[in-house]
Structure 1
Amino acid sequence: MRPVPSVCTARLALGWGLLMSAALLPAQAGATDFPVTTAQRDTAQRVATAGVPLSELAPDAPDSYTVKRGDTLWDISKLFLRSPWRWPELWGMNLEQIRNPHLIYPGQHLVLIKADGMARLAVARPVGAGMSQDTQTRTLGPRVRESALAEEAVAAVSLRLIGPFLNEAVILEADQMEQAPRIVATQAGRMMVSRGESAYVRGAVDKARNWSLYREARPLLDPDTRELLGYEARYVGSAEVIAQGDSQQGGKQSVVIPSTISVTYLREEAGVGDRLAPQPARDLEGYMPHAPNQPLSGKVVGIYGDALTAGQNQIVTLNRGTEHGLERGHVLSLWRAGAKWTDRTSEDRAQVVVPHEKHGLLFVFRVFRKMSYALIVNVQQPVSPGDTFSQP
């Protein structure tokens, strides 16, 4: 028989918050105190007291679930909620006692508790683990668990999909790559260079730094206004400088001795003309999924890479950024414009426009001043540049 949660258990809200950073932190960062905003704290305390209405639960929400390796918070929440991005509302927070609110791990047994028209989620131990024999119940109490979160904690969405883009995808306000160091020749005169091979770079590079390789930046224009929003520098790989070059004056013409780099990682083959930029510091800022707190809409500018359309788990650029109120962790609805046709069943031959249809969700994970990157979490039809989005 499954243990019956006690009243204390039913009143408990499991500590959560600061989405994604748990899985991005280095192993030694397990004991770090992470910032929690006032708005997050207020929402957490409200939900921890009230719970979530039963109407918000998925129709086939299970009574319990055991977390497995490879699970994500989004996947788990889809089992319980109609809107999985609202998972913090189901768990709530106990911010005063749980110092590190990322504590969800494989092997934990989650129990859905329903009472007075509301639902909460608690963590239960297997029968006999710390429970009295007569009641087989256990009052849950918050505790601090210090561990290598990068290896154990469950992430919100698959880091395999967006992890590399957290630092590699770059939007520049000016074409800064135009003056950046560039590959001018490759080993043995080949057109392309592979991992472990050498290439020759003209421009100022520091041997003490690690460098990222980018394809020539392309301008991104607003689909409506044609305003130049920025330049997207497409990530190619990374390299290290093994010998610095020099410039010498010889007669009427200067002689350039290029620096030598060794390619340490490639997403695609590098070649002559690719640019170098210092690798940025690892971005560990935490965030949690939430809707914009004000009306917000915009359009998809482009698909990351060479594709013309995008599907689930692909990355898109948006024509909204920090100056428009967009934040990391925002969840947005994708809309498909309604089709237009002539009503041939009527003599007036009226033009009929089908209403816009919501057909997917975006998860914003990197924000610049005028633009943002977002992951297509789910979608019913291919996404194209010009498709619209709004608050969910």
Structure 2
Amino acid sequence: MILQKIGIFVAAMLFATVSVADTLDMQENHPTKYVVKKGDTLWDISGKFLKKPWYWPKIWNVNPQIDDPHWIYPGDVLTLVWIDGKPYLQKAVSAQTNKPIPTIDAKAIKTFLKHDQVLPFDDNERAKIPYVLGENDAKKVIAETGDIYVRGSLAKGTQYAIYRKGPLLKDEAGRKLGYQAVYSGALVAGEGNGTVTKALLVKNIQEVMPGDYVMPFNNDDGYDLYFVPKPAQVETSVLALGNLDYNLAGRNDTVVLGKGSKDGVSTGDVFAISKTGKGVVGHAAEETDYYEFSTAGKQFGADKNFKLPDDVVGQAMVYKTYDNVSLAIILTAQKSVGVGYKAGKPE
């Protein structure tokens, strides 16, 4: 709890460094008073007042008489006031008998968080992770529940997740960041001798194979979702989609971004997701074509570098960071989001 308070305070202080020139546009039909309801999120409430919800700290009037002033509880009454010509939200002191509302809807990411893992790129680091050896019928694909054996020591009676090494994650410069882990199933650890552990395979999401990694489930109730939205200050790209079964992502889907905590990314950072503009070639109307489809048009040297403007297709907010990558949830999407799309500072 103390760490949550410190994190919110630091986020608010960092936001104070954002340029005052940033535009604070109010929604045309914004309310002047709002009563917080159970099920609300900080992002949704901010969107009722602001066209750019990531500027929430600019409108929130911190009252030092209220404990944890950035936390908002069901039943709180928020009132819009104007001070020196600028809009601010104030809240009355409440009983605070309930849990504060989260920044984003936990239900939208709960399942993904429980199974989310990024495997390290370094072979020596991956070698420290327990993995499936197989089972005594010598099946290369284990599609049924039953006894299997794991290389490594596991806690008896504990349930573990099984992961397949997925796609390699690389940033824009080609730097190898790690491997996306693909959730394959679950097992319960049995007896072991410190080197090999017998286990019961209890769930198959897909076939389990020798060499699959065995790791603890994430504690999906242990994530701090009480952070403050703020505009991202770095630029990166979408490395992968949370759901590998699809080529495009939409609202409430998770995407993997190519920068993490080592790059200054933190929870609450809001990125604008953009589709790169297409190249166009040709000196005249009759010669104009998209560069990727053009044949004769590619002879027009300098014009092959003419590019249509990038299209902003949505916004995504970071809810978890690793050293080199981050997980973000798409909160608004005018169009679908794909791998390779740009993730930059929101307008």
Q: Distance in 2 between matches of 1:262 and 1:298?
A: 39
Q: Distance in 2 between matches of 1:60 and 1:158?
A: 24
TM-score (norm 2): 0.76
Corresponding position: 1:240 with 2:196:
no
Corresponding position: 1:334 with 2:276:
no
**Counterpart in 1 of 2:143?**
192
**Counterpart in 2 of 1:59?**
28
> Kindly tell me: are residues 201 and 122 of structure 1, through their superposed partners in 2, closer, same or farther at Cα, counting changes over 3 Å?
same
Q: Distance in 2 between matches of 1:108 and 1:301?
A: 39
**CA apart distance, 1:185:** 3.7
Corresponding position: 1:182 with 2:150:
no
**Counterpart in 1 of 2:38?**
69
TM-score (norm 1): 0.68
Q: Which moved more, 1:354-363 or 1:60-69?
A: 60-69
Give the number of aligned pairs: 321
Kindly report which structure 2 residues correspond to 1:1-392, keeping only aligned pairs within 5 A, or say none: 34-36=5-7, 39-40=10-11, 42=13, 56-94=25-63, 96-101=64-69, 103-123=71-91, 140=92, 142=93, 145=96, 147=97, 149=99, 153-166=100-113, 168-173=115-120, 174-175=122-123, 176-177=125-126, 180-182=130-132, 184-185=134-135, 191-193=142-144, 198-208=146-156, 210-222=158-170, 224-241=172-189, 243-245=190-192, 259-261=198-200, 263=202, 268-269=205-206, 271-273=208-210, 274-279=212-217, 283-285=222-224, 287-292=227-232, 294=233, 296-306=234-244, 307-343=246-282, 344-345=284-285, 350-351=303-304, 352-392=306-346
Q: Distance in 1 between matches of 2:184 and 2:74?
A: 34
Task: Flag structure 1 segments of 5+ consecutive residues without an equivalent.
Answer: 1-28, 124-139, 248-255
**CA apart distance, 1:222:** 2.3
Q: Distance in 1 between matches of 2:313 and 2:113?
A: 25
Contact 2:62-2:90 within 8 A present in 1 as well: no
Q: Distance in 1 between matches of 2:67 and 2:29?
A: 33
> Kindly tell me: are residues 71 and 245 of structure 1, through their superposed partners in 2, closer, same or farther at Cα, counting changes over 3 Å?
same
Task: Flag structure 2 segments of 5+ consecutive residues without an equivalent.
Answer: 289-299
Identity rate of aligned residues, in percent?
Answer: 24
Contact 1:210-1:279 within 8 A present in 2 as well: no
**CA apart distance, 1:345:** 1.7
Match of 1:58, SS? coil
Match of 2:62, SS? coil
Give the aligned residue type for 2:272: S
Q: Distance in 2 between matches of 1:333 and 1:46?
A: 20
Contact 2:169-2:180 within 8 A present in 1 as well: no
Q: Distance in 2 between matches of 1:231 and 1:317?
A: 11
Match of 1:215, SS? strand
**CA apart distance, 1:148:** 5.3
**CA apart distance, 1:280:** 5.4
Give the aligned residue type for 2:103: A
**CA apart distance, 1:230:** 0.8
